[in-house]
Amino acid sequence: MSMSLSHGDHRFAAVQAGIGQAPWVLDALSDQGVSGGSLHFEADQEIYAEGDEATTFYKVVSGVVRSCKFLSDGRRQIDAFYGEGEIFGFEAGSEHRLSAEAVSDCTVIPYRRRGFDTLAGRDERVAGQMFSYVMRCLERSQDRSLLLGRRSASQKLAAFLLEMSGRRACGNVIDLAMTRQDIADYLGLTIETVSRTLSQFEREGLISLTSARRVCLCNMKGLRELNA
């Protein structure tokens, strides 16, 4: 029987539907001593640093986490935001290649990698789902390369808003956990450009800024058309 590196497999439909959702099978790990309870972090607290030994990976229970890299000049590139149910910090090598920080107060479950490996060896579904998850991360990362390489500030912001809406949607309204600086570092822009572009979107009637962190996507179609 295939271990389902093929992902047309219907058993994983649920996983595939929620982009970035963690393999549900990880839940089982909690019962096998692989997980060590849950951890709480306050906003801006570091979860692990670049170069730290990667003996553990995590799943977000609540709140939002960012993974990022720092440049020698102090600037920052945010690689990804992780929300409820998503996995982060799973590494191929022995060290964390990026650091992870709490964007908002958040709770995460740590999983010991060694324990996970053992379980993955026993249960094909665990391995298969993790594989599926990593493939999904790869797809996201490739999409980001396109975004960062060839898109204008407006296109980046539009894509960002739609991405956030796809994850944390409550109607058209999204509550951003992150600051303008976070958004800028995610999109390869400056905080001023992010702010200006959002203001412009509001003038054009694409969005409405209830407050700085609360955005209403009034015209999703218009936003989508920006990235045709």
Partner DNA sequence: CGTCTCCTTGAATTAGATCAATATGTGTGG
Partner DNA sequence: CCACACATATTGATCTAATTCAAGGAGACG
Residues of this chain that interact with DNA (CB under 7 A) are 152-154, 179-181, 188-196, 198-199, 209, 211-213
Binding mask 147-186 for a copy of itself (x = CB under 8 A): -xxx------------------------------------
Among 27, 42, 49, 75, binds a copy of itself (CB under 8 A): 75
Binding mask 82-111 for a copy of itself (x = CB under 8 A): ---------xxxx--xx-------------
Binding mask 123-152 for a copy of itself (x = CB under 8 A): -x--x--xxx-xxxxxx-xx-xxx-xxx--
CA proximity to 23, closest of 125, 124, 153: 125
Q: How far apart are CA 125 and CA 138, in angstroms?
A: 20
3-class SS at 20?
A: coil
Distances (CA, A) of 33 to 55, 118, 131, 178: 15, 12, 22, 33
DSSP assignment of 75-86, as one string? -EEEEEEE-TT-
CA proximity to 137, closest of 34, 27, 16, 54: 16
Q: How far apart are CA 82 and CA 17, in angstroms?
A: 16
- 5-24 residues in contact with a copy of itself (CB under 8 A) are 5-8
Please report whether residue 190 would count as binding a copy of itself according to CB under 8 A: no
CA dihedral 188, 193, 195, 197 (to 10 degrees): -100
CB of 183 to a copy of itself, least distance (A): 12
Are the C-beta atoms of 38 and 61 separated by less than 8 Å? yes
Nearer to DNA, 61 or 148 (CB): 148
Quick one: what does residue 191 bind among DNA, a copy of itself, none, with the CB cut-off 5 to 8 Å set by partner type?
DNA
CB of 6 to DNA, least distance (A): 38
Write down the H helix ranges in the chain.
13-17, 113-122, 124-150, 153-168, 180-187, 191-203, 220-226
- 191-210 residues in contact with a copy of itself (CB under 8 A) are none
CB of 48 to DNA, least distance (A): 21
The residue ranges that bind a copy of itself (CB under 8 A) are 1-8, 69, 71-72, 75, 77, 79, 91-94, 97-98, 113-114, 116-118, 120-121, 124, 127, 130-132, 134-139, 141-142, 144-146, 148-150, 187-188, 228
